[in-house]
Amino acid sequence: MTEKPISIRDVAERAGVSPGTVSNVLNGSRPVNAALAQRVREAAEALGYQADRAAALLRTGKARIIAVLVPDLDNPFFTSIVSALESGLRDQGYELIVASSRGEDDTEHSRLAAMLAWRPAGLVVIPGSDEFPARALIDRARVPYVVADRITLDPAANTISVDNESAGAIGMRHLVDKGHRDILIAASVLKLANIRERCAGAVSVLESLGLPPPAIVETGGDFTLASDRLAAWLDSNRQPTAILALTNFTTLGVLSALAERAIAIPRAISLIGFDDYAWMRARTTPLTAIQQPVQAMGEAIWARLKARIEGDASPPAHIQFQCDLKVRASTATPSHPDGTSTGAG
């Protein structure tokens, strides 16, 4: 004979509470006193109790699942957003499922269709393009959702992002204040509005001072492509005195291309990276970086999504956070007094 599966009643008996309290704790349906909640979790763990998600779905018609779709799981910024969101879900009774669209519209469509088949309680999407054609699937499914990081051409949903123009501007302003005039912007994919906005913010600083526009190289969306394109640009153009990288992958691409050419940072070229990770501070020459407030963004994503799940019908909110500049040793005054390079490509 097989053993009888552990039930909510068994957990309730061990914890000395009602089955309803166990359900509230494990499903997050109602707040429960912290001490009681801890007793319930300890009892469930001791008994090896596993909630029957399929049964819950049949009862309610909707799973207590939050689905997250990002363009690329290799990108540490996207996984940082997932991690920040996950910390907000803790003790809320929701499970998290994550998938990648690889930045392709067709893949985004198929992944969203698969996720929506689970009938999730809510959805977080970082679209792969400004057009975001798969949005129609979500609208038809009537699932509450939040668009993160990127603002699409039809921002009718709640959106959480940073002020990208300001982010580009603070990096460029720092370089100009250091005396740089010959500056290269390493962008990733210019068809994305957030990257174009970062470029626009950086260019606006130079325009406001009557300085010539910077060179801009589009590096693509992954490290290898970024490294190759930057290497090709450096080999065929005059060497700049500073580089402003607008994503974490372009930052890595710049570092790779400069290392291959034994170009010293910041003696020969100053560098500002984008996003701020521990490895940037652990280098021999720590990187000056534009830091996105990832934890605050994750908290805001969950707050807006939870409000929608609970029936909030207010107009969509478009929340923008400001980035910070973390100044470190990778930026310095250029060796040439007029801020331009004397080197040749």
271, 292, 313 — which closes off a domain?
292
Q: Could you give the angle at the alpha carbon of 50 between the alpha carbons of 2 and 44, nearest 5°? A: 105
At residue 252, what is the residue type? L
Q: What is the largest CA-CA distance in the chain?
A: 86
343 DSSP assignment? -
What's the pLDDT score for residue 58?
43
For 56-67, the pLDDT digits (tens) are 544 444 568 999
Residue 330 maps to a domain: no
Q: Smallest Cα–Cα separation from 157: which of 323, 312, 321? A: 312
The number of residues making up the chain comes to 345
Same domain, 270 and 193: yes
Same domain, 121 and 193: no
Same domain, 155 and 301: yes
For 222-266, the pLDDT digits (tens) are 889 999 999 999 999 999 999 999 999 999 999 999 999 999 999
Tokens of 140: 């038809």
Residue 331 maps to a domain: no
Same domain, 172 and 288: yes
Residue 336 maps to a domain: no
Q: What is the pLDDT along the chain (345 residues), one digit of tens a residue?
A: 445 677 788 888 888 888 888 777 776 556 677 788 888 888 887 877 766 554 554 444 456 899 999 999 999 999 999 999 988 887 777 889 999 998 888 899 999 999 998 889 999 999 999 989 888 889 888 899 999 998 877 778 899 999 999 999 999 999 999 999 999 999 999 999 999 999 999 999 999 999 999 999 999 988 899 999 999 999 999 999 999 999 999 999 999 999 999 999 999 999 999 999 999 999 999 999 999 999 999 999 999 999 999 999 999 999 999 999 999 999 999 987 666 665 544
Residue 329 maps to a domain: no
Residue 1 maps to a domain: no
Q: Count up the domains in the chain and report the number.
A: 3
Q: Smallest Cα–Cα separation from 170: which of 158, 178, 182, 159? A: 178
Same domain, 86 and 116: yes
Asked if residues 205 and 311 have their Cβ atoms less than 8 Å apart, the reply is no
Same domain, 16 and 68: no
Strand partners, 162: 321
Same domain, 147 and 260: no
Same domain, 80 and 37: no
Residue 3 maps to a domain: no
Distances (CA, A) of 187 to 102, 135, 198, 243: 19, 26, 9, 10
Same domain, 114 and 205: no
Asked if residues 186 and 253 have their Cβ atoms less than 8 Å apart, the reply is yes
d(CA 240, CA 52): 60
Residue 272 maps to a domain: yes
CATH number for position 188: 3.40.50.2300
What's the pLDDT score for residue 76?
92
d(CA 7, CA 49): 7
What's the pLDDT score for residue 1?
40
Same domain, 202 and 284: yes
CB under 8 Å to 83, separation ≥6 — which residues?
Answer: 298
Residue 338 maps to a domain: no
Same domain, 157 and 169: no
Distances (CA, A) of 322 to 174, 291, 305: 16, 9, 21
Task: State the burial class of residue 169 (Cβ atoms within 10 Å of its Cβ: 0-12, 13-18, 19+).
Answer: buried
Same domain, 186 and 279: yes
What's the pLDDT score for residue 182?
96
Residue 281's domain comprises 164-292
The residue written with tokens 């707040």 in the block is 31
CATH number for position 28: 1.10.260.40
